[in-house]
Amino acid sequence: MRGYFGIGLEGISKQYNVGNIFRTANAFGASFVFTISASYNREIGKGADTSDALGQIPFYEFPTLNDVVLPKDIKVVGVEIDDNSIELPSFHHPANAVYIFGPEKGDLSKKAKQRCDFLVKIPSKFCLNVGIAGVIIMYDRLISRTRFPNRPLRAGGPESQLMIKSNKTRIRVKKKMNDFIVKPPETLI
């Protein structure tokens, strides 16, 4: 996947949520993580961050939004339920992006929203836990920006080919929607 992304948390207070989102960021290949106006105790957050994300990727603590320094070529994407937000399934993720999430019991600040190039929302019946929202955003970025085979029209995965070795012959088995077709054996060299 080309490009890079970072994860930012504004005003967040629940240590396990921070640890969870940082662990997820590490798993999905984030280039950096940061907090804004947040109190994060790493020792408590480690309870949810079993990957030691902060030992793997850069972590920045910014006291205020005015202190945040980002690369020049990056787009800021706020994750927020807002009338101006783009629904996630209709959003094209920028190659270089930072995703900013607001506090657990509130919204992104007005200043944070103004700094965003885009606002996106997850189409759900109500607000989700910030850790879960982070997982959904990062997974959506992965599947929309990485080349995976197209999804099949029927239930199950794409066609796969299994090779079964038997003595000095090779039998090619083609798996397709629960049907197995055995092709004639080929002699091994």
**Rounded average pLDDT over 105-115:** 93
Residues facing 8 on adjacent strands: 34, 100
Average pLDDT over residues 81-90: 95
Greater model confidence, 6 or 2: 6
**Closest by alpha carbon to 41, among 16, 69, 8?**
16
pLDDT category at 39 given cuts 50, 70, 90 is confident
Concatenated DSSP letters of 52-119? -GGGTS-EEEESSGGG----TT-EEEEE---TTPEEGGG----SEEEEEE--TTS---HHHHHH-SEE
Model confidence, pTM: 0.80
Across the range 44-68, mean pLDDT stands at 89
* C-alpha–C-alpha distance, residues 157 and 139, integer Å: 18
The confidence score (pLDDT) of residue 183 equals 52
For the residues 155-176, what does the mean pLDDT come to?
55
Average pLDDT over residues 65-80: 96
| Res 13: pLDDT | 81
pLDDT at 170: 53
Which of 36, 40, 38, 39 is closest to 62 using CA atoms?
Answer: 36
pLDDT value at 22 more than 80: yes
Backbone angles phi, psi at 36, to 5 degrees: -130, 125
What residue type is 116 in one-letter code?
C
**pLDDT score at 164:** 45
Q: What are the sequence ranges of the domains in the chain?
A: 4-145, 153-189
Q: Is 4-145 a domain of CATH 3.40.1280.10?
A: yes
CA distance 99 to 70: 12
The encoded tokens of residue 32 equal 């950096």
What pLDDT, on a 0 to 100 scale, did the predictor assign at position 42?
A: 72
105 token code pair? 């019991």
Q: How many CB atoms lie within 10 A of CB 189?
A: 4
Phi and psi torsions of 122, nearest 5°: -85, 125
The reported pLDDT for the residue numbered 41 is 75
Beta bridge mates, 59: 33
Whole-angstrom Cα distance, residue 189 to residue 185?
A: 13
Cβ(22)–Cβ(54) under 8 Å? yes
